[in-house]
Structure 1
Amino acid sequence: MRRLAGGLLVAAATLALPAVLDDSALAVYILLGLAAMVTVGVSLLMGYAGQVSLGQGAFYAIGAYTAALLALGGVPPLAGLIAAPLVAAASALVIGTPLLRLRGHHLAFATLAMQLILLSVAGQMEFTGGDIGLQAIPQFGIGSWEMSSAAAYAYLTWAGVALVMLVTYNVSTSRPGRALRALATSETAAASSGIPVGRYKLAVFALSAAFAGLAGSIYCFYTGYVAPGSFPVLISIQYIVMAVVGGLGTIWGAVVGATAITLLVQGLNIVGALPGMPTYAPSVLSYAVYALVLILVVLFLPQGLLPALTRRLPSRVRARS
């Protein structure tokens, strides 16, 4: 009952916020939701399957470019929204078949190289707009109705977050989810138990890519513009930090981590824009704070913010009683 009440409270707050936030705050709210969508996939990939990926930004870009190209080609935006996660998942299947033979930091560097190659190719291709990118992307809509307000995109974004969380919950509580946890503990032991290790690793890699592709498609419709510069390497590192800070292997932890890091970055941007600060201050502060937050969390909250809070609250209740 407590979980149900907490879920209903969070859902009510999520639906109420777009009606009271101004446009600048709504932009942060939408970007927070998009980051949470990708971070849930990262938490599933790293926390449940034990696979480290520094290339989730690549699938975010694939989803954005897919939806943008289809919309600019006259395809209904709804079809582009549906096609984006499918194309991202298919790309993950193709890319992951050779890459997932690697483990640990080798896999992390390989996925990072994948994103760098993708961005380089997108910057050279004519149909992707090169370094300039794609502009004047149509607004998302169904039939004759189009989204014309940031509040509408906020509802669409958080509906996507709810869908991603629901899918992740069903996967994590199913038999394949238990197999993924065994795989993260020991691939050798999982294989000896009859678990198809390669197939499950590829499936969860594709599922996390689909989540990123869905977020990318919403991003392209919201901004109306995509370019290689929209998906820097830092964005993939940001998703890792969000997942670790919130708590790897937890669904709500990904949302908590995305919220904490997004608000922190926005605060740093405000500080970096103060009079007298150099133009490179926001980016330098972001890199420094990512490193500092990650070190502090690993040292003092190794399981993340959410698991630490859920452990301490019951102990305080017992102490009071």
Structure 2
Amino acid sequence: MKIAVTLLVAAATLAIPPLLSASQLTIYILIGVAAMATVGLSLLLGYAGQVSLGQASFTAIGGYTAALLAIHTGYPWLGLLAAPIAAAACAALIGVPILRLRGHQLAFATLALQLILLSVLDQASWAGGAIGLQGIPRLSFGSMVLDSDVAYAYLAWVGVALTMVVARNLVGSRTGRGLRALATSEIGAAASGVPVGGYRLLVFTVSAAFAGLAGGIYAFYVGYLSPGSFPVLLSIQYVVMAVVGGLGTIWGALLGTAVVTLLVQLLSTLATRPDMPDYAPAVLSYAVYAVLLVITALFLPRGLAGSAATRGRKADTWT
């Protein structure tokens, strides 16, 4: 059954892009980009129990790495390959000291890291400063150049498939069982022989790599990057997507990303109507995340995917 559903979703994913309008295709691509980062964050939050408010910082690292290598080497494919590697390397480097923290202290530390990164990028001339990097070339592999939105839609969703496969294999492995034990009780996991520090660093690094890949694809698709492309609100958005979809479920990250993105787009369209006040876009963009978190906590504590799975098991029991 699961294989059939997976194949059906894959077929729909491949069939959708040519049928969409230009604006719809843009949203479709952005859902794919956000889903990659959210899958990584779902691993970190749901399976390792670690709270991060700086996931967008690794998206920025991946995006800037891809853009700078593409501009200065002339090999865009090399930039895309290096994007997740650079993000993972940075996560491994900073993860050693900050992962000693717990709970809200870790959350604030990751938030501080993003603020520091944005400040550095804003002042760094090699990164374009506040103006940003312009003229990022289209992604190419030899003579094949991705110069259409449909091509980037396929690329983004290939990235989603790759991250979901890696995440699924990690969760189903012995390491994944150790991560679940770690999320339940670090003391109990350590007593059972789980290398707590190593596993925490591993999942933090993998999560960052997923975000870095998302940033690399985003850089080539947009063709322009600036510090404003990766605000703190983007990290909050990833958290909301993971929570709404359901922590501890790989498919939940994808579902939460789609629901939140479409809802935000709908509210953005509503907020820009001529009869709406000037402050409506800003208010709605922040309010929607708060409302979604409250509704999820009250009525869907396991998220959309977790609640659906629970209801499915209950239905099987009654039949």
- Tell me, in whole angstroms, the C-alpha distance in 1 between the residues paired with 2:162 and 2:104: 31
Partner of 1:56: 55
Q: Residues 126-184 of structure 1: CA distance to partner in whole angstroms, max 9, x if unpaired?
A: 00000000001000011122111100000000000000000000000000000011111
Question: What is the distance in 2 between the residues matched to 1:180 and 1:312?
Answer: 26
Partner residue of 2:81?
A: 82
Which whole-Å CA distance do the structure 1 matches of 2:80 and 2:117 have between them?
21
Q: Which amino acid aligns with 1:262?
A: T
Work out the CA distance in 2 between the residues paired with 1:272 and 1:178.
45
**Distance in 2 of aligned mates of 1:150 and 1:282:** 27
**Where in structure 2 are the equivalents of 1:106-255 lying within 5 Å?**
106-255=105-254
Cα–Cα, structure 1 residues 203 and 318, in superposed 2: closer, same or farther, change >3 Å? closer
SS of the residue 2:194 aligns to: coil
Q: Distance in 2 between matches of 1:59 and 1:49?
A: 18
**Structure 1 residue 191: deviation in Å?**
1.2
- How far did 1:314 drift? 4.4
Q: Number of paired residues?
A: 319
Offset of residue 78 of structure 1: 1.0
Distance 2:218 2:257 in 1: 16
Alignment match, 1:99: 98
| CA–CA separation in structure 2 for the residues paired with 1:20 and 1:253 | 25
Please report how far the alpha carbon of residue 318 of structure 1 lies from its aligned counterpart in structure 2 after TM superposition: 5.5
User: Residue by residue, what CA displacement relative to the aligned partner does 1:193-221 show, whole Å, maximum 9, x if unpaired?
Assistant: 22111111011101000000000000000
In the TM superposition, what is the alpha-carbon distance from 1:19 to its structure 2 partner?
1.0
- Unpaired stretches in structure 1, ≥5 consecutive residues: none
User: What SS does the aligned partner of 1:127 have?
Assistant: helix
Q: Check 1:314–1:175 CA distance in 2 against 1; reply closer, same or farther (3 A cut).
A: closer
Instruction: Report the Cα offset of residue 105 of structure 1.
Output: 0.5
- Give the letter aligned to residue 28 of structure 1: I
Q: Aligned pair in 2 of structure 1 residues 75, 193: CA closer, same or farther (>3 Å)?
A: farther
Hey, what's the Cα distance between the residues in 2 that align with 1:283 and 1:260? 20
SS in 2 for 1:73: helix
Deviation at 1:280, TM superposition (A): 3.2
AA partner of residue 10 (structure 1): V
TM-superposed CA distance for 1:270, in Å, is 0.4
Are the aligned partners of 2:70 and 2:77 in contact in 1 as well (CA < 8 Å)? no
Contact 2:65 2:86 in 1 (8 A): yes
Letter matched to residue 52 of structure 1: V
Do the aligned partners of 2:39 and 2:253 also contact (CA within 8 Å) in 1?
Answer: yes
What do the CA deviations read for 1:237-269 (whole angstroms, capped 9, x no partner)?
000000000000100000000000000000011
Return the letter of the residue paired with 1:62: I
Residue 285 of structure 1 is matched in structure 2 by 284
Unmatched segments (≥5 aa) in structure 2: none
Could you say if the C-alpha distance between residues 196 and 242 of structure 1 is closer, same or farther in structure 2, counting changes exceeding 3 Å? Answer: same
SS in 2 for 1:79: helix
SS of the aligned residue for 2:62 comes to helix
Moved more, 253-262 or 191-200: 191-200
Q: Does structure 1 residue 29 correspond to structure 2 residue 40?
A: no
Identical counterparts, % of pairs: 62
Aligned Cα RMSD in Å?
1.0
Q: TM-score, normalised by structure 2?
A: 0.98
- AA partner of residue 44 (structure 2): L
Match of 2:260 in 1: 261
In 2: Cα distance, 1:261 partner to 1:96 partner: 29
Match of 2:5 in 1: 6
Match of 1:311 in 2: 310
